[in-house]
Structure 1
Amino acid sequence: MAVGDGGLPFPPPGPQFTPNQPNPSARRWPPKAVIIAASVAAALLLLCCGAAAVNAVIGDNKKNAAPGVSAAAATTTAATAPTSKVPSPAASLSASASPSAIAVTMPNLVGKNAAVAQDELKRLGLTKVQLGSQDPGDSMVILAANWTVTKQSQPAESQVTTDTLIVLTCTKKA
């Protein structure tokens, strides 16, 4: 406060407020108790969700473990348990083909919509299908419905097993 004539203080220019009257331009913040309660509630929520996520990731291994054995020990024991059967060379050669693989005739997919081609391969049981782009500006096929097949890794009418990788080269529709 400035001191006026006669040593008496005078108020600065502007709106005057009495001590019992709240300042209308001052921000009103929530009480500290509300802020603390909200923080505690948020921390508990994060803790519960985090624990559920960890249990979902790690909890599956405990189902197969024997009582009193940790999941890591059960996994290690199962992986390193000795086998009494010695594989023959013929068995290792036939192990490359999956026992559930079935031979199917590869269709001609050139000129078809990539999404339609994927569906057709899925109906035949071919699950290992990758789409690639031949366009220099587009390096990845993101939405197959916007692409057309220009080449296929396996020739049409050839016999392929259902576990064969099929690569369809595509171009983006104009």
Structure 2
Amino acid sequence: MRNLLIATAAAAGIATLTGCKAETPAPAIPPVASTVTVPAPSTPELPEASTAPTPAQPSVKLIKIPNVVGVNHQTAQDTMQAHGLYNLREQDATGQGRLLLWDRNWVVVRQTPPAGRRVKPDTVITLYSKKIGE
């Protein structure tokens, strides 16, 4: 056995001197567990909350509903629109469900919301009318 060790050492020495590599298998390297750390994306710094008062939201301009009771239906519609109220509905005040085809032949007998109330421009205004002379 001693002779075998000497022969192996001598062969390794000769291989080193001549530049030859010995055909010895590479020792097994155990796998290394690696952990990759990825930095978190940077977030821009937010300004600190201000204690100064914030400006109020712009207020909606309220419109005073004009009184159109007793006026012919076409004039009532024109009056509402002149005040900035365009979301208009019409009803047959007699309950017969008739359509107001010729607005000038009808007179407003009731309106909702009532005259004088202040409302937003998109408020629904309903004009209840009946034919003139009914």
Please, what TM-score do these two structures have when normalized by structure 2? 0.52
Higher relative contact order (CA 8 A, sep 6+): 2
What is the CA–CA distance in structure 2 between the aligned matches of 1:117 and 1:146, rounded to whole Å? Answer: 12
**1:156 Cα offset (Å):** 1.1
Aligned partner of 1:158 in structure 2 is: 117
1:126 matches 2:85: yes
Aligned partner of 1:114 in structure 2 is: 73
Deviating 4+ runs (over 6 angstroms): none
What is the CA–CA distance in structure 2 between the aligned matches of 1:122 and 1:113, rounded to whole Å? Answer: 15
Matched residue type, 1:123: A
Gaps of 5+ in 1: 1-98
Please, what TM-score do these two structures have when normalized by structure 1? 0.40
1:65-80 matched pairs, under 5 angstroms: none
Q: CA 1:111 to 1:102, structure 2 compared with 1: closer, same or farther past 3 Å?
A: same
1:13-162 matched pairs, under 5 angstroms: 102-137=61-96, 139-162=98-121
What is the CA–CA distance in structure 2 between the aligned matches of 1:105 and 1:162, rounded to whole Å? Answer: 10
Matched residue type, 1:144: D
Q: CA 1:100 to 1:169, structure 2 compared with 1: closer, same or farther past 3 Å?
A: farther
1:171 matches 2:101: no
Decide whether the 8 Å contact of 2:64 with 2:119 is kept in 1. Answer: yes
Matched residue type, 2:109: T
Aligned residue-pair number? 76
Give the secondary-structure state (helix, strand or coil) at the position aligned to 1:151: strand
Comparing both structures, which one devotes a greater share of its residues to helix? 1
Give the secondary-structure state (helix, strand or coil) at the position aligned to 2:122: coil
> Considering only aligned residues, what root-mean-square deviation do their CA atoms show, in Å?
1.9
Larger radius of gyration: 2
Matched residue type, 2:104: A
Give the secondary-structure state (helix, strand or coil) at the position aligned to 2:69: coil
Give the secondary-structure state (helix, strand or coil) at the position aligned to 1:116: helix
**1:102 Cα offset (Å):** 3.0
Q: CA 1:100 to 1:164, structure 2 compared with 1: closer, same or farther past 3 Å?
A: farther
Gaps of 5+ in 2: 1-57
**1:111 Cα offset (Å):** 0.5
Identity of aligned pairs, percent? 32
